[in-house]
Structure 1
Amino acid sequence: MSADFDAKRVEALIGILSPARVTRVVDVGANPLDVPPYAGLLKMGGCEVWGFEPQEEALAKLRRDAGKGEHYLPHVVGDGSRGTLRVCADSGFTSLLEPSGATMAALGQFKDRAKVVERLEVETIRLDDIAELPEFDLLKIDVQGGECAVFEHGQARLTGAVTVISEVSALPIYEDQPLLPDQAAVLGKMGFGLHKFLFLKSFGFRSGYCNRLRRKHYRSQLGDGDAVFVRHLFGLERLEDEALKHLAILADAVFLSQDLGVAALGVLAERERIRPEQVHDYIDLLPETTQRPERAGPDTLAAE
């Protein structure tokens, strides 16, 4: 379990940490179909966003609604080669990959939404080659099967990031789509460990006799969702001070892992970058905690 987003608590945390700059988010595939997990942090002015969205209508909406600290560019981020963008009836399915007819036939859904209505020849750009992109802390990515190409051609940029939130899938919605284990392997080589799922959908088979089964009761197939990967997940002491600060902010405000945030604060306290009292000041703002110890420092007794 974790605590819900609380702007006042996050503001207090940022005050304790006093980072050298505002937390930065890069959103590759920023099509505004859903509320992004960093929306609360952005609304309170706690982060800056650099988003990439090649679909004209979606990009226009992003730019129209953009507030302070939001920057949106039309790049197709990938491996730097020329490719074909498959524009689908539902823009959320638009991809550089071809939708998988076999998967859709087995599940009995997505066929109409994933129908390719236009094919556009595009030049992709490597994340490492985007000159105007500043150092960032979180990569949020949803590019419908092209995530590994972005990772592999963005390794230089990702060395400064502490967190990746990526759409992952356990089933091939697209032909030759890298799945969850593939993403975990690529990011693992770069020092990122799988931390949690923000959500994970499941689907039911709908072929043959399965059509008699009520969809809401029979959904056995693991589907897709958003996964959080964290750099040096079990070795936070390897992160620099500023990286730990931004990780703590993101852990609280974006992916709601306040225990991980407290662990990051603990490393900063050990380095005497913040005072132990300040760690407890933050913990006092969280629900479901034990009584503050009389002696400032890490509590030796674990709370049940």
Structure 2
Amino acid sequence: MPPIAFDPRRVQRLIDGLAPRRRTRVVDVGANPVNVSPYDDLLRMGGCELWAFEPHPEAYEELRAMQRPHAHYLPYALGSGGTARLHVTEASGFTSLLAPAEETFAALGHWRRATRVREVVEVETHRLDDIAELPDFDLLKIDIQGGECEVFAHGQRVVSGAAAVISEVAMIPIYRDQPLLDEQMRQLRNLGFDLHKLLFMKSVRMTNRASRALPRRRFTSQGVDGDAVFVRGLLDLGSLPDEHLKHLAILADAVFGSHDLAVYLLGLLHDRGQVEPSVVADHVAALGVDPTG
């Protein structure tokens, strides 16, 4: 069956039924608008607040020009603090504090031109735990081309309070010394998060003279990277506070499409007397399911 589409009417009814004390808060680290972010629909309807970090000057100005509601933009590079080298590549989506792994591109036969370093710029990095402007938040969305673990390591205090993390994870190194999926899982598990799902995974055809005979659309078996969702306290959600569960339910339905998780959370909140039975039944019906079975 096709995935359930985002529906602002369904999401607004869910928010109204949950009645959280504030809007859901999203922090986006590496908010270069080269791709549509999974929270964009929720932000567009006014269902969340956004704090977005983007150190690349052109991308930062492009974000500011969008004038999205309830959005705050900060031109900081996040990391361990101190000076770092930003590798600005021909395709801005590959720009990173890490140097591109040329040996990977040689093996794959992809992205050599896009990852060519156009200039190296010294930038001051900031520790996520030290950002005074940042309130408590519910979702960390992070995509900084290999530097994610550095942010987790220097943002443990604020990250550990979030309900979920959406992080770009890699199966093979696109950058030199890049931590891969297993390292992100280990680091986030230490902060109380478990892997919930992959939103998507990009894959390619490893290309040489022989494999060029294969159509690219049909033969792409090598996983490269994708976005993974991690949920705090995944196997013990019943021990978490009501407000935490409310914001996680909104994110599950509106951002990462885990509708069964959203209904599960509604069930927990109903059992606590936090939502009316009609809220659960109405939401199930809005998903196209008969709530009576």
With structure 2 as the length reference, what TM-score do the two structures score? 0.96
Consecutive unaligned residues of structure 1, counting only runs of 5 or more, are: 293-302
After superposition, residues 25-36 of structure 1 pair within 5 angstroms as 25-36=26-37
User: What's the counterpart of residue 119 of structure 2?
Assistant: 118
User: What's the counterpart of residue 139 of structure 1?
Assistant: 140
Aligned-residue CA RMSD (Å):
1.3
Report deviation, 1:291. 4.3
Between the aligned partners of 2:291 and 2:46, the Cα distance in structure 1 is 32
Consecutive unaligned residues of structure 2, counting only runs of 5 or more, are: none
Runs of 4+ aligned residues of structure 1 deviating over 6 Å after TM superposition are none
The answer to whether the Cα contact below 8 Å between 2:14 and 2:279 also exists between their aligned partners in 1 is no
User: What's the counterpart of residue 237 of structure 2?
Assistant: 236
- Post-superposition Cα deviations, 1:230-271, rounded to whole Å, max 9, x if no partner, equal 111121112111110000000111011111011111111111
How many residue pairs match? The answer is: 292
User: What's the counterpart of residue 15 of structure 2?
Assistant: 14
User: What's the counterpart of residue 281 of structure 2?
Assistant: 280
Quick check: 1:290 aligned with 2:290? yes
Partner SS state of residue 234, structure 1? helix
User: What's the counterpart of residue 171 of structure 2?
Assistant: 170
After superposition, residues 1-304 of structure 1 pair within 5 angstroms as 2-207=3-208, 209-287=210-288, 289-292=289-292
Report deviation, 1:67. 2.2
- Which residue identity lines up with residue 161 of structure 1 in the other structure? A
Between the aligned partners of 2:5 and 2:213, the Cα distance in structure 1 is 39
C-alpha distance 3-102 of structure 1, shift in aligned 2 (>3 A)? same
With structure 1 as the length reference, what TM-score do the two structures score? 0.93
The answer to whether the Cα contact below 8 Å between 1:164 and 1:228 also exists between their aligned partners in 2 is yes
Between the aligned partners of 1:26 and 1:60, the Cα distance in structure 2 is 18
- State the percentage of identical aligned residues: 54
Between the aligned partners of 1:33 and 1:201, the Cα distance in structure 2 is 16
- Which residue identity lines up with residue 59 of structure 2 in the other structure? A
The answer to whether the Cα contact below 8 Å between 2:90 and 2:118 also exists between their aligned partners in 1 is yes
- Post-superposition Cα deviations, 1:58-98, rounded to whole Å, max 9, x if no partner, equal 10010111222111010001111321000000000000111
Partner SS state of residue 5, structure 1? coil
Between the aligned partners of 2:41 and 2:17, the Cα distance in structure 1 is 19
Between the aligned partners of 1:272 and 1:214, the Cα distance in structure 2 is 56
Report deviation, 1:290. 3.2
- Which residue identity lines up with residue 155 of structure 1 in the other structure? Q
